[in-house]
Amino acid sequence: MSEPHDPERLRALEERLTRVKEAQKPKTSRGEEHFSQANMAWRMVTELVAGLLIGFGMGYGLDKLLGTMPLFLVIFIGFGLAAGVKTMMRTARDIEKQQVAEQNAAEDDNAETSAGTERDKHGD
């Protein structure tokens, strides 16, 4: 049996505790911005409004130029709405991919930590 103050066992315990503490720290992305839910919502609203405004401007300009007042205005507002919705959907898909990747990375880190703890328990 080992003595109560075995330095090798204490060092191994310290290493395990350090690994567990590191695994429990909140993960920060490296160089990527984290958006809160409100910021993501504002970004999507802004993209939709920008699409509508661009469509409105193009339609109004063409109607003034060609003298067909409501025709191009209505058509290009529809195009602007479609473009804004498409951009919002692309943004939502990108955000979802980023969140899934972060979740997978966190799960991998937790699996590695628990595997290391199991190895230390068995003395491997």
Domain ranges in the chain are: 37-122
pLDDT at 29 over 60: no
* pTM recorded for the entire structure: 0.60
Query: In the chain, pLDDT over 90 holds for what percent of residues?
Result: 40
pLDDT digit string, tens, across residues 58-95: 999 999 999 998 999 999 999 999 999 999 999 999 88
C-alpha dist (Å) from residue 61 to 30, 34, 56, 65, 83: 45, 39, 8, 6, 18
Question: Would you list the DSSP string of 9-53?
Answer: HHHHHHHHHHHHHHHHSPP--SS-----HHHHHHHHHHHHHHHHH
Which pLDDT belongs to residue 31? 46
pLDDT digit string, tens, across residues 38-47: 888 898 999 9
